[in-house]
């Protein structure tokens, strides 16, 4: 019995690590364009009817891994909503913008969501063969290629590659509710932009960053411009440099 008092001093650190490892994470699976989980059936029917033809079946299944916390769940829900729903109604559609890469994407993509990336990157596509153990286990389980992407949700939410467009959105919001909705929309668009940017890296690992970047910047700009245009304001599009991915 006495021996137990010795490890007692050291065990908590070890248990804390295991606790973090085992209990610290949640997972959810998200299918592109799927309306499953939307509360109102009538709305779901409308979305299905309008967009079914535009949704290629080969778009990867996302497996989201995120911290078991309120902020982690919120980030996962934001990305889930963006991939399930927003991506199917955006103008331009990411399916058109990214049409060329779609056939080269893996069957599933594990997205590891973290609050912050220590290096300040918004996202990162792991090179083939450098995926985590669980991703490799999943790939052999479902017998298909599984890609892996890291995304830093707080940095993505703060990222403003087009500060003028964001300001314009803000200026045109009629009230606080609309301002918050715009902010929410902007974050979801930014999440999708980073996701598709990283998926292009998965599809074409050799493609230079500036080329991948040009497409994702353009997608982001066009979506914001279309949103502003709906409100009757024309926004002059120009590329502006933004921090590393
Ligand atoms: Zn990149």
Question: Ligand 1 mean position to 213 CA, how many Å?
Answer: 6
Q: What separation in Å is there between the alpha carbon of 59 and the centre of ligand 1? A: 20
Position 9 in a domain: no
Distance 201 CA to ligand 1 centre (A): 7
Distance CA 232, CA 120 (A): 36
Rounded alpha-carbon distances, angstroms, from residue 146 to 33, 131, 208: 19, 9, 22
pLDDT of residue 226: 87
Q: How far is the CA of 244 from the centre of ligand 1 (A)?
A: 7
The verdict on residue 8 lying in a domain is no
pLDDT at residue 41 in the model: 34
Q: Which of 177, 165, 149 is nearest to 231 (CA)?
A: 165
Q: Is residue 212 part of a domain?
A: yes
Structural domain contains residue 238: no
Domain span at residue 196 reads 25-230
| Neighbouring residues of the ion ligand 1, judged by CB less than 5 Å | 209, 245
Cα separation, 17 vs 22, whole angstroms: 9
Q: What confidence score (pLDDT) does residue 203 get?
A: 96
The number of domains in the chain is 1
pLDDT score at 189: 93
Which residues in the chain land under pLDDT 70?
1-23, 35-58, 162-170, 172, 231-245
Q: Is residue 14 in some structural domain?
A: no
Residue 217 inside a domain? The answer is yes
For residue 145, the model assigns a pLDDT of 93
- Residue 237 domain-assigned? no
Distance 33 CA to ligand 1 centre (A): 24
Residue 151: inside a domain, yes or no? yes
pLDDT at 176: 84
What the block records as the tokens of 198 is 């990283």
């Amino acid at each position: 019995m006495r021996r137990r008092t010795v490890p007692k001093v050291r065990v908590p650190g070890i248990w804390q690590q295991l606790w973090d490892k085992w209990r610290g994470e949640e997972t959810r699976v998200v299918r592109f364009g799927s309306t499953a989980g939307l509360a109102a059936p009538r709305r779901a029917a409308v979305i299905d009817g309008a967009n079914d033809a535009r949704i290629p079946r080969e778009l990867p299944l996302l497996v989201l891994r995120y911290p078991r916390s309120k902020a982690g769940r919120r980030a996962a829900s934001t990305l889930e909503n963006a991939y399930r729903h927003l991506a199917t109604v955006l103008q331009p559609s990411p399916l058109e913008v990214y049409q060329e890469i779609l056939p080269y994407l893996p069957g599933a993509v594990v997205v590891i969501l973290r609050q912050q990336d220590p290096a300040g990157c918004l996202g990162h596509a792991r090179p083939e063969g450098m995926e985590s153990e669980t991703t490799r286990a999943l790939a052999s389980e479902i017998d298909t290629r599984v890609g892996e992407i890291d995304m830093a949700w707080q940095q993505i939410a703060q990222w403003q590659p087009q500060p003028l467009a964001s300001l314009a959105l803000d200026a045109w919001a009629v009230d606080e509710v609309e301002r918050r909705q715009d902010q929410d929309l902007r974050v979801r668009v930014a999440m999708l932009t980073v996701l598709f940017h990283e998926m292009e890296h998965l599809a074409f690992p050799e493609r230079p960053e500036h080329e991948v970047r040009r497409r994702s910047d353009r997608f982001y700009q066009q979506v914001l411009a279309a949103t502003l245009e709906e409100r009757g304001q024309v926004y002059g599009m120009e590329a502006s440099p933004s921090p590393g991915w």
